Structure 1
């Protein structure tokens, strides 16, 4: 099979790293810098992506488009793509709930083939090997597997039902991210009473406890702008399944106290201070 041309919408830290892996088996990986931040331009250049002048050019030239953007923007972005009558394979790889993925598939189904995607793990750089879970039409899912063959992005196909990959992503994220929020609250409460070091010592006796990694609180703060909306998506998925969503909505509300901490490289103390005094 000829090497496909791939378009990436839009290269954040995860998107740029995934796109760099896709470049291994692609003729080119395109992106559109119009309206994007200087940080996005730097990431795209470092990842070897090819800039194009307009979204229309990107869609006209691409055989495969991968959407990796903040969850809130996923449907608007898909609507733009549908308006341009994109006719290739559209990988909806955002952290959104299965109902939204199915709405996006319905938006695009007259022209494009939608593959549901969910990335579990850290961006594929520095030895990290995340897994891109896929669900959708078999031939299209296999094309995406071929695109990442031999790269740091592992792939796994879950079946033909659009929504399965997103459900798995959100189920995993709901546990992992809420657990990190609970660590921040536990350490913050202990610190208020001067027993935070004792709490950490107790937790360190159990190496499988997130409480034994309080240094991760600052990383959680740095990622809160992205994690909070993911947990809201997971809460919506719980509610749709008849399960109580309140725990995840509370975790998302807690993360919102760190919304302005993106790229600020806070210390543990600074992160806890912001959590206690937003």
Structure 2
């Protein structure tokens, strides 16, 4: 049975790895330099600790990279420092150009690189996520088969490296920017005391993120990851000649929440934090 390596088991990576465990002999991860929270998460999901990255690359035939997008190329470089001739699936929210660089970096080891993207919540007994895969056709099926019958719905795309990343960022450019715009809208409305009226309007449109005010603190808590992802969205838009202003602006707004990595804020506190973000900036 296949031995899989996961780099690195964050909330999404660990959940995806747990689904792969259903068809794998073992899922390895590398504890070196990881936090206590990551260690506990890996234990909870039944992942096996490798001695170091060298052992992981030696034993695994498939490596899944699922990390914050800002670190995707660094992680690829770390892997490329070790012999690895298996399948390397970069499943991060990065632009097609970033994905091409990852492919070049890891390809130097003799590995087969495929492009992946995860869309949805961390998979569990009650939630599913889609894993889109593109790249060399012969390598797609072995990775997709790892998730047969699990809460990860693997789907292959034709067209080679870049397609899965482009799909993810096409989705992110709307989904995440819309969440940010909803927060900014409420921040403005609260300054004028019309937030209840804004909510009343939004609730008449059931598909509007403006009706989901409770989600605003979650946006603040995730901005340290979402901000760099919106930077990648901007890159992807520029690469095809489309305006990237909204993505750039969204990343900048998320930067005001960059130090918030928990969702303990109230909605009002999250909105106030947007105002405090300009302290010390010039006029």
TM bucket by the smaller chain?
over 0.9
Identify if the C-alpha distance between structure 1 residues 126 and 215 changes in structure 2 by more than 3 Å, giving closer, same or farther: farther
Alignment of 1:4-153 (within 5 A): 4-110=2-108, 111-125=110-124, 127-153=126-152
Task: State the 1:264 CA deviation.
Answer: 4.4
Distance 1:265 1:174 in 2: 26
Distance 1:5 1:105 in 2: 21
Distance 1:255 1:80 in 2: 28
Task: State the 1:89 CA deviation.
Answer: 0.3
Runs of 4 or more, structure 1, over 6 Å off, are none
Distance 1:263 1:51 in 2: 27
- Maintained 8 Å contact 1:138/1:160: no
Moved more, 98-107 or 32-41: 98-107
Match of 1:258, SS state, is coil
Distance 1:160 1:167 in 2: 11
Match of 2:266 in 1: 267
For structure 1, which runs of at least 5 residues remain unmatched after alignment?
none
What is the RMSD of the two structures over their aligned residues, measured on CA atoms? 1.0
Match of 2:157 in 1: 158
For structure 2, which runs of at least 5 residues remain unmatched after alignment?
278-283
Task: State the 1:109 CA deviation.
Answer: 2.4
Task: State the 1:74 CA deviation.
Answer: 1.0
- Maintained 8 Å contact 2:169/2:233: yes
Aligned residues: 276
Q: Deviations over 1:142-166 (max 9, x none)?
A: 0111000011000110114101000
Q: Does 1:223 align with 2:222?
A: yes
Q: Deviations over 1:221-269 (max 9, x none)?
A: 1111111000000000111111111111001100111111102421111
- Maintained 8 Å contact 1:118/1:166: yes
Alignment of 1:168-247 (within 5 A): 168-247=167-246
- Maintained 8 Å contact 1:64/1:91: yes
- Maintained 8 Å contact 2:70/2:229: no
Moved more, 125-134 or 16-25: 125-134
Distance 1:64 1:250 in 2: 37
Task: State the 1:5 CA deviation.
Answer: 0.1
Task: State the 1:29 CA deviation.
Answer: 0.2
